[in-house]
Chains A and B, each alone.
Chain A
Amino acid sequence: MISGIGKGTASLWRALPGSGRAALAVVGFLWLVSAASPLVSSRASEIRLEDRLQPPSAAHPFGTDDLGRDLFSRVVAATPLSLTIGLTAAGVSLAVGFLVGSLGGYFGGAVDLVLSRLVEVVLCFPVLFLLLALAAFLPPSPATVILAIGLTTWPGDARLARAEILKARDLDYTRAARAAGASTPRILFRHLLPNVLAPLLVSAAFGVAWAILAEAALSFLGVGLPAPATSWGGILSAAPAYIEVAWWMALFPGLALFLTVSAYNLLAEGLRRASTERT
């Protein structure tokens, strides 16, 4: 699977099962929508109180919200934010997880014992407890949201990286590199990382789905991104107050979220299958 990614998308495409291909197509479509979203940004923020709480119609396919803004434009305009936060937060989690996990797995002994305890400590906390505390107590900004999500989900990646490095650290290519006098960072990043990348990427794809959900949950609960930045979770946060009169305010932003999360999960599942069937 590594070569699949390395040699370009064509062989990745061939390695993926049908559902994974469909998921990859949906993810591609979402990024296209996100690239086109500036087209609707002015309409998304246009407040027209005379049009408030209108049900879906030809003029407003998703209806309008409590301030008369067009929900379709708002959902489209929120796409880039939700996608980027998901991707970067999963990246932070992967980076921290790889660092902690690979150091523990590579050195073993006391280093491993300490780092494994660290992983265990974080795993003991309910994820949402830590997430809420970080998001609410640090100054509100996109960076805070990304860090909060990344810093609460890395233990999973760390455990995975540790197990993979443990398997690879005594293989011939690692021993050869060590015998040739390569430094530890060089062995870790140059030799071991590429060889344990496949399972980590699968985990990262699941991680993107999770991070998008987590950001939406935070924004829904009102401790996510500060206004005027809007994500799908932020749009949804207005829905409970109008649930009795405007079901569309709940339906459409959530549908976008569901579609995105399923696509990333399905892609991750496809990558997992492609990588396990090859090896």
Chain B
Amino acid sequence: MIRYLSRRLLLAVPTLFGIVVLVFLLLHLAPGSPVTGGGESSRRISQRAAEEMRKIYGLDRPLPERFAKWVVRVVRLDFGESFVDHRPVFDRLREAFPYTLELNGLALAATLLIAVPLGVAAGGRPEGPLDRVSGAFLFALYSLPSFWAALLLQALFCIRLRWLPLYGVASDAAPTGWAGLQDQLAHLALPVTCLTYASLAFYARLVRASVAEARQADFVLAARARGLSARQALWKHAFRNALLPLITVLGLVLPGLLSGSVIIERIFAWPGLGRLYFDSILSRDYPVVLALSLLGAVATLFFTLIADVAYALADPRVRDGTLV
């Protein structure tokens, strides 16, 4: 297992380097040079912002030197100042982060709470009535554009029925205590629903497939032969084994959530990282765009590694080195 893990960690080093290079290239993708160049971006950048860019990226210097200096700053989490309000980029990220965490944490929890039992139940009886109905339903959800669903839910629950607020984090005159919590939950309901349904199909189908496969495995048949009921064999044996593939994809949860957040946070005026990213793209706030892309990708790499380690710990074949 040590061999497996050290190989995995070593391979992450060039990937990390690649991420940093790609983000750096993203900056130079903008029409002309990011500071002086032509295109519409130049008009939107103020003189002061241009000076700031020049300082941070040393644009008068040759490319490799610029890259090295940029890396040194980034390693110290120094992303410079936002062009929009001239505050440190890191502060803006820190302010938006809790909102995104709240929204996506709830959505992820809701997704797994629904997807895992549904997938196990459907996979326990492939082609059974539950499997067919949930399969068709999940397939429809999978094809449903989240921004359209969000609009329809708003039209129904916020305008026609007047049950929920249209957007925002809390009401303007937010009540305190119990009523305040209710108010917050009402604001969370639709965005969490939209983020949840969007990833539901993927996870439920994954769990279903691995449970359906594990059901046929020798160890489950053996458990049945020892006299365990179908339900016991399913939940105690097939289910545990079926969780393994779930661990590996959990590493890639983060980019999916961040992608979903961009659209949902925009529609529901949620002041999280997704909306910050989108606003920064529109206002050409390069330091924020770069910082968010870089941190998002590095965090994903980190979680993928954790998932791989967890997988190695959970799978005895990897643990004892018989499977690499």
Contact = CB atoms under 8 A, between A and B. Distances in A.
Q: Main SS of the interface on chain A?
A: helix
Interface string B138-167: 011011110110011011000100000010
A20 B287 CA distance: 47
A278 interface: no
Interface stretch (B71-79, B220-228, B294-302): B294-302
A265 interface: yes
Given A124-B301, A129-B277, A254-B151, A139 B266 contact: no
A221 B11 CA distance: 36
A132 B281 contact: yes
Nearest to B252: A123
Interface string B114-139: 00000000000000000000000001
A272 to B, nearest CB: 12
Given A117-B15, A133-B29, A265-B142, A124 B151 contact: no
A216 B282 CA distance: 17
B98 interface: no
Contacts of A130: 293
B207 interface: no
B289 interface: yes
Given A121-B22, A257-B148, A129 B292 contact: yes
B145 A213 contact: yes
A262 interface: yes
A236 interface: yes
A269 B22 CA distance: 34
Contact of A243 (B22, B155, B292): B155
A117 B259 contact: no
B316 interface: no
B19 interface: yes
Given A133-B29, A221-B263, A236 B151 contact: yes
A250 interface: yes
A254 B145 contact: yes
Interface residues of B, number: 50
B22 A258 contact: no
A165 B148 CA distance: 39
A124 B277 contact: no
Contact of B262 (A129, A209, A265): A129
Nearest to B254: A126
Contacts of A269: 139
B52 to A, nearest CB: 19
Contacts, number: 137
A137 B31 contact: yes
B30 interface: yes
A265 B159 contact: no
Nearest to B303: A124
Contact of B15 (A121, A134, A209, A258): A121
Contacts of A120: 15, 18, 301
Nearest to A260: B143
Interface in A90-149: 113-114, 117-118, 120-130, 132-134, 136-139
A139 to B, nearest CB: 7
A239 B254 CA distance: 29
A229 interface: no
Contacts of A254: 145, 148, 151-152
Interface residues of A, number: 46
B159 A258 contact: no
Contacts of B254: 126
A40 to B, nearest CB: 22
Contacts of A244: 159
A150 to B, nearest CB: 16
Contacts of A114: 14
Nearest to A136: B281
B31 A127 contact: no
B175 interface: no
Interface string A17-60: 00000000000000000000000000000000000000000000
A240 B151 contact: yes
B273 to A, nearest CB: 10
A243 B281 CA distance: 25
B44 to A, nearest CB: 12
B300 A125 contact: yes
Contacts of B304: 124
Interface in B163-219: 166
B267 A240 contact: yes
Contact of A137 (B29, B147, B278, B298): B29
A134 B29 contact: yes
Interface of A: 113-114, 117-118, 120-130, 132-134, 136-139, 209, 213, 216-217, 220-223, 236, 239-240, 243-244, 247, 250-251, 254, 257-258, 261-262, 265-266, 269
10 contacts: A117-B14, A124-B19, A126-B262, A128-B260, A129-B258, A129-B262, A139-B31, A139-B39, A220-B263, A223-B281
Interface of B: 11, 14-15, 18-19, 22, 26, 29-31, 39, 41, 139-140, 142-145, 147-148, 151-152, 154-155, 159, 166, 252, 254-256, 258-260, 262-263, 266-267, 277-278, 281-282, 289, 292-293, 296-298, 300-301, 304
Given A133-B26, A254-B148, A265-B142, 18 more contacts: A117-B18, A120-B18, A121-B18, A122-B22, A123-B300, A124-B301, A125-B300, A126-B254, A126-B297, A137-B30, A138-B29, A216-B145, A217-B263, A236-B148, A247-B155, A250-B152, A258-B148, A262-B139
